[in-house]
Homo-oligomer: A and B are copies of this chain.
Amino acid sequence: MARRGSDISTALGLLIGVGGLLAGFTIDGGGILALIGIPALIIILSGTIGALTVSSSIRAVLRPPRLIMQSLPRQAGPSPQLAQQLLEFAEKARRDGILSLEDTVEDLEDDMLRKGLRLVVDGTESEILVEVLESDLAIQEQKKMDDAGLFETAGGFSPTMGIIGTVMGLVLVLGRLGGDINELGRAVATAFIATLYGIGLANLLWLPVGNKLKLQVKQFRMQKQLIIVGVRSIQQGESPALVKEKIEGFLEEREKKELDANRTE
């Protein structure tokens, strides 16, 4: 359900933003056709795509659409279900010994939880365990951050391409001054379309999607850190009460109550 609500936030946000801009323009008496500029669109898009291609690689140019789609579903953060699961593992490991987890491990869906518990079952030293998991997390986080950075980079290039487009348009206009003033006005208006597109794309698409991806990275890191804390507790054979104190901090107030409810049942 939370997943559902979030699913549509990218589309809804674009709708509100673009819709509001157009509504304001129309109320002001403008015809939306006046805002259409094919040359401006070509300049902004190919300029931004070109700069991104030089910045990284051809593949990078092909990633943004997929990343926008990826940003649609909500990144799962630390959930009461995960906390619950970690608590149960901690109890089982304390009661029946760490090796009792062996059968469950390979069926786990989360990569880090599976790897962590496998290392625990294999008897890896506590220090090395944490080091391996932290290193994995850092590398995965870095990759996700690079993806978010791609959008920030696009958000930086897009407005300057808009300025380039507008200046080119003005150069065009200035070369033919002295003609009909109405036509002149329309030509200048056309030149400004590039600025509109450049700033608009940056502020309604590139930067906001970049922000969302960075938020998702934070959720991702939080979830994985909860797992690291949990796995280490399991290895140390800490008391379920202490594990619960450690884990609870990762949850929202109402999620803590959910956890409590499950526990006392």
Contacts and interface: CB of A to CB of B under 8 A. Distances in A.
Interface hub of A27, A43, A171 (most chain B Cβ within 10 A): A171
Contacts of A204: 47, 50-51, 54
A139 interface: yes
Given A43-B21, A53-B13, A174-B186, A196 B168 contact: yes
Contact of A176 (B13, B122, B185, B212): B185
A103 interface: no
A259 to B, nearest CB: 15
Interface string A1-39: 000011011101111111111011101111000110011
For this chain, the copies found in one complex come to 5
B169 A175 contact: no
Interface stretch (A80-88, A89-97, A128-136): A128-136
**Binding site of A, secondary structure by majority: helix, strand, loop or mixed?**
helix
A58 interface: yes
A17 B47 contact: yes
A56 to B, nearest CB: 6
Interface in A159-182: 160-161, 163-165, 167-178, 181-182
A200 to B, nearest CB: 6
A25 B172 contact: yes
Nearest to A115: B245
A164 B199 contact: yes
Interface string A213-252: 0010010001000000100000000000110011001100
Q: Which 6 A-B pairs have the closest CB atoms?
A: A20-B46, A17-B50, A13-B53, A177-B185, A13-B54, A54-B208
